[in-house]
Structures are given as C-alpha cells and as structure tokens.
C-alpha cells in the first residue's frame, strides 16, 4: 500500500507564472503539479495536489490529510503570516510536514520573513524556486524512512 502525501497550496499560487515573475519565476502551478505527482508516484506516494485562496478550505484539506494519516508538503503562501487556525491544523498532522516557499522569505520585506506555520513544520525549504517542491517531497520520503516496500 502506498503512503499518502498531500501537497497543498495557499493563496494566489494559482497565479504562478503571471504574478511577480521576478520573484516567483515563470513556472506555473500546473507545471509544479505535474512534476510533484510524477516524483510522488516514483517514491510510492499516493499524491494529492490542491490549491485554494480560502483559508477555511486549506484547513479542511489539512484536517483531511491528518485523518488519512498523510504526510504534508505545504506552501501556505499568504496564509503563512499570522494564521493561527492554519497552524493549529498543521499541528494535527502526525507524518512529516515540509513547508515550502518559492522565494527566500528571509530576504524579503519584514512582513514576509516570519512564517507562523514553520513552528509546526518538520522542515522548511525556501528560496529554491519551484524545485523546492521536489526537494520537499524527497525530504518527506527521507523523514518517513525511505521508499515504501512493495
């Protein structure tokens, strides 16, 4: 049986490739989704990839990941900053949680530097561009103990 992996994306990430390409690059979220699901499958994960602009929807999906005993790769985007309800949901997840940011949030203006979600994450990857998602999936695999047998 494959392990479950939720790859969840927060606000405005549906606009990747168009929104501030000087910060986020030209890769679209659809490109990221295809690359993530291909790697997840190769590492024997049942991958779920989603994006929302709604904080309540993101919380529902994090809770779903918890109920399905899934690991979590999350780019909370704007929900990273001061969003206690998202943090509380992330704290539920028992499997590895890797937070991803396409840009290096520590090199940005002050309001983007401190992610509330990071305190509950197993690991944080920022500044690696769209490739950060693939690094995060590999980190989840390592943190979970390597590829599932079978």
Q: Annotated catalytic sites, by residue? A: 24, 101
Known binding residue 109? Answer is: no
Residue of 113, 87, 105 whose CA lies nearest to 24: 105
Known binding residue 12? Answer is: no
For tokens 């693939």, the residue is 134
Known binding residue 102? Answer is: yes
Mention every residue, 6+ apart, whose C-beta is less than 8 A from residue 143: 71, 96, 98, 122, 123
SS3 116: helix
**Cα gap 143→122, rounded to integer Å:** 9
Token representation of residue 29: 């979220």
Q: Which uninterrupted H or E stretch holds 134?
A: helix 131-144
**Cα gap 96→88, rounded to integer Å:** 15
Residue 33, Cα to own-chain centre: how many angstroms?
A: 11
State the binding site. Answer: 75, 88, 102-103
State the binding site for substrate. Answer: 75, 88, 102-103
């Amino acid at each position: 049986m494959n392990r479950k992996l939720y790859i969840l994306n927060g606000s405005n990430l549906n606009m990747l490739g168009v929104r501030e390409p000087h910060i986020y690059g030209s890769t679209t979220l659809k490109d990221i989704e295809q690359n993530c699901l291909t790697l997840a499958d190769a590492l024997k994960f049942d991958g779920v990839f989603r994006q929302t602009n709604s904080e309540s929807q993101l919380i529902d999906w994090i809770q779903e990941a918890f109920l399905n005993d899934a690991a979590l790769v999350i780019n909370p985007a704007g929900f990273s900053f001061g969003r206690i309800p998202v943090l509380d949901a992330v704290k539920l997840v028992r499997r590895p949680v890797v937070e991803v940011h396409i840009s290096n949030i520590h090199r940005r203006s002050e309001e983007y530097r401190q992610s509330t979600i990071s305190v509950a994450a197993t690991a944080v990857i920022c500044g690696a561009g769209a490739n950060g998602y693939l690094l995060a999936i590999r980190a989840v695999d390592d943190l979970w103990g390597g590829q599932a047998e079978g």
